[in-house]
Amino acid sequence: MLIGSRQKLSTLWNPLELLMDNVLIEHVSSVKSLGIFIDENLRWQTHIDKLSKKVTSGIGAIKRIRPFVPPSTLHYIYNTLIQSHFDYCNLVWGNCGKTLFDRLQKLQYPAARILTFSSYDADANRLIRQLDWRDLSTQFQIQKALMVYKSLNGLVPKYLSSKFVNQNETRYSSRDSVNKLFVRFPGTNFMKNSSSYSEAVLWNRLPCNVREAKSLTQFKRLVSLHF
């Protein structure tokens, strides 16, 4: 797989041919790795397509069995067939862009209507609050904050924690500046969407008492309350 922008890849006149032991390696536009589909443009279009099909299938299954099982079982099945797909590796593909992310969010709405036995035109945001769910964007923000906390407290491999650099104290430092991260100006949209930038920006916007949580359990509670 050759990785680059659509414009860059379109300039290739001749396809690249690679041989290993005189066997031609197949050229593909996307590849599956540990359940994540990586495409040649790093835009996550293929992964969102696959994810949408899985979630849609799960919604259909819940709708079919809804008349025969109690609500508690429906919630269990939702978490198993749908929410688990939303959560899986969302830190990897979550910066897929607003259009693709909104496409996934719209799949949470019919699920909320089915589990609450509501009409197809019921206010989905109200139903999500009624179910005590969070929308996908909020779930994503919480996961990013958890990743930074783990990185700063030695709870992840070094190659992940090395993405973040503590902000140097200045003569204008205050309590609010404690435990903030250095954020390098993003020169490109690609850098702006990168985890090292977006997660650091999110972390610096958290209240001081959340950033200074003494344990992972305490941080999870505080960051959940914040969002």
The Cβ of residue 162 has, within 10 Å, a number of other Cβ atoms equal to 10
The residue from 91, 108, 133 where one domain ends is: 133
Asked if residue 71 belongs to a domain, the reply is yes
pLDDT digits (tens, 9 = 90+) for 19-57: 999 999 999 999 999 999 999 988 899 999 999 999 999
Distance (Å, whole) CA 144 – CA 146: 5
The Cβ of residue 188 has, within 10 Å, a number of other Cβ atoms equal to 8
Q: Quick one: 124 and 160 in the same domain? A: no
Asked if residue 196 belongs to a domain, the reply is yes
pLDDT for the residue 171: 44
User: What does pTM read for this prediction?
Assistant: 0.84
Over range 166-173, report the average pLDDT: 58
Cα–Cα nearest to 111, from 141, 140, 85, 147: 85
- Residue 159's domain spans which residues? 140-226
